[in-house]
Amino acid sequence: MTIHTSPAERIEPRFARNLLGALDGKVAAKVVAAGGDVAMIIDRGGFIRDLAVNNRDMVNDGFEGWLDRRWADTVTSDSRQKIEEMLRDAANDSGARWREINHTTAGGASVAVRYIAVNAGEDGRVIAIGRDHRATAELQQRLIQAQQTMERDYTRLREAESRYRLLFQLASEAVIVVDAASRKIIEANPAAERLIGGVSTPLIGRTFSAAFDNTSRDAAVSLLAMAHGGGNLTAQSTLQYEGRSFNVAASLFRQDRASLFLIRLSARDGDAGQVPESAQRLIDVLERIPDAFVVTDESLRIIAENSAFLDLTRLASKEQAQGQSLDSFLGRPEIDRNILVSSLRQHGSLKNFATILRNRLGEQEDVEVSAVHVADGAPPCFGFTIRSVVRTPAPRPSVAGELPRSVEQLSHLVGRVTLKELVRETTDLVERLCIEAALELTGNNRASAAEILGLSRQSLYSKLHRYGLGDFNTSE
């Protein structure tokens, strides 16, 4: 049998040699029945006139009881349209194709069967051959369920990883993760960066022993060797960084077929440094004052801050603030940073500098800043106090609102609007003052005022309306 197929057209299959002749009826019935699990002869009215079922599951589901029933009455409502299309296509010899049909059983279950319908050539009869598709449908359902399970597991894994990341970042204990093969630091939380790292020398990517003083590097190597050979035991040692001593504990664990070290650091009690009582009181006061207080390095990277600063910037924790640049919150972009830094370097301090503060949500508010430069610190740093300023509507007119009524009010706009907008506001102020003076000289006679000002009456009325001057409900 030679079958020619093409994407552009459907070609009816034919035997190359006509050797079958006229098949006997019994032989034809066997051929049709053998083509699938169920075979039906359907008349032009859509009724099942003959039926052969050779699938035990279909017999148990009552398929043999369909004789003389409409084929469309044996299927679910969503499959009836497919039945009509299959019968119509078979009657028109427009090409047969397999379609999936869902049948309902006496028990209320749904059975999926794939059918193909062909024209029988006599009295509009159609032969429909079906194959039980339940095994394939069940396999597809299992595949979908497996995919959904994988997606749920992946979501849980991502959520667990997010929780781990959050705990890792917010933990007060210094924690470092070191690759056992390369001995390089692959993860370090902010607490560890504050203890033995820094903005200029981040820990990630460095060899573990190189993170400590030269005198402690051999001890750091030995610590990892003990942890690697100790199995589940935790190795401990004392290492130094910039002269300070730290208790360091290392333990070995495996993840993703790789061995890693979990390192925990803490300052030794003797080297943690006892803060004098007076200094501690000062620290407590700075933490509780209502004005924001923040300490930065000379590149304006935040080192320390109080709770009021977190409230102003809408940051959830001190860890979120530390390491960020202060000018990402304070000042007009590319303007106030240079003014602040140059003034502090030149004069050492700055008082009541008016600027704006942007919080994490993008909201702005007016603030006043006082700052000091501690040049002899170890290392040098800047200290800032930031106070919210509540302006009354009179001295602080908005650019888009009522026009300023004095030079003093105009001065509040310097630095907040462009020079072009400021000149326009100044011009409007002078124009309004001249109109008010002309009205006062003429006893509120608009015609005379227009003549004095060299304006037409219509132009004067327009300006009066613009500035809200005069009473437009009274006639002259």
Q: What percent of the chain has pLDDT over 70?
A: 80
Kindly report the pTM of this predicted structure: 0.38
pLDDT in tens, 166-177: 888 888 888 999
What pLDDT, on the 0 to 100 scale, is given for residue 198? 63
Q: How many helices (H) and strands (E) does the chain have?
A: 14, 15
pLDDT in tens, 114-146: 998 988 876 788 889 898 888 887 888 889 999
Q: In what order do the strands lie in the sheet with 235-241?
A: 185-188, 174-179, 258-267, 244-255, 235-241
Higher-pLDDT residue of 27 and 345 is 345
**In sequence order, what are the residues at sequence separation of 6 or more whose Cβ sits closer than 8 angstroms to the Cβ of residue 444?**
470
pLDDT in tens, 357-372: 988 888 888 899 999 9
* Domains of the chain, start order: 25-132 (3.30.450.20), 171-267 (3.30.450.20), 277-388 (3.30.450.20), 407-467 (1.10.10)
Closest among 384, 422, 357 to 294, alpha carbons compared: 384
390: exposed, middle or buried (Cβ count in 10 Å: 0-12, 13-18, 19+): exposed
